[in-house]
Amino acid sequence: MFKGKKVLCIGERDGVPGSAIAECIKTAGGEPVLQLTQCFV
């Protein structure tokens, strides 16, 4: 499902951070092209 895909990892500070999503996606063969961690506070 993620092989060869360009993945936008849009995380949140109080949820799952962008960097944690990216670490996961890499193991599934996806390429994180953007890591964002939203912080509204």
Partner 1 sequence: MDLEDQGIIKKTVEEQDSISAVMVVLGSPDDKSAEMYAETVKNGDPTYAGPLAGVSLGLPVYHILEDEVKEHIDPEVYQQQVGMMEMVLDKESITRVVKKIREG
Partner 2 sequence: MSFPVIKGVSYMLTHTPDLVRYGSKPTREFLTDPLLQKRINENLRSYVEAKNYPPHQVYIGNMKPEDLWQIEQPWFENLHEDASRFGPWGEIMPQDEFYGYLKIVDEFDLVFLTASFTEQVRSSLEKHRLFTADDNKRLGSGVEIGLLEEKISAGALPLYDRGSLIGCIQDGHDEDENLKAHILLENLSCKATGVLAMRNAFHLLQIDPASIDYAMNSGEEGVGDRYQRGAGNLAKAMAEMSGCINSSGSDIKAFCCGPVHTMVLAGSLVQSGIFENVVVIGGGCLAKLGMKMRGHLSNSMPILEDILAAFVVVIGPDDGINPQIRLDVIGKHDVGAGSSQQAIYESLVKKPLDKIGLTIPDIDKYSTELHNPEITEPAGSGNVPKNNYRMIGGLAVMQGQLPREELDQFEKIHGMPGYSPTQGHIPSALPYLGQACKSIMEGEISRTMFVGKGSLFLAKMTNMSDGISFIIEKNSKAKVIG
Question: Is residue 11 involved in binding partner 1 (CB under 8 A)?
Answer: yes
CA dist., res. 21 & res. 10, Å (int): 8
Nearest-angstrom CA–CA distance, 12 and 39: 6
Is residue 40 within the footprint of partner 2 (CB under 8 A)?
A: yes
> Which one of 6, 14, 29, 33 is in contact with partner 2 (CB under 8 A)?
14
Interaction of residue 39 with partner 2, rule CB under 8 A: yes
- The reply on whether position 1 binds partner 2 by CB under 8 A is no
Q: How many amino acids of this chain bind partner 1 (CB under 8 A)? A: 30
Structure-token match 């360009």, residue found? 6
Q: First vs last Cα of the chain: how many Å apart?
A: 34
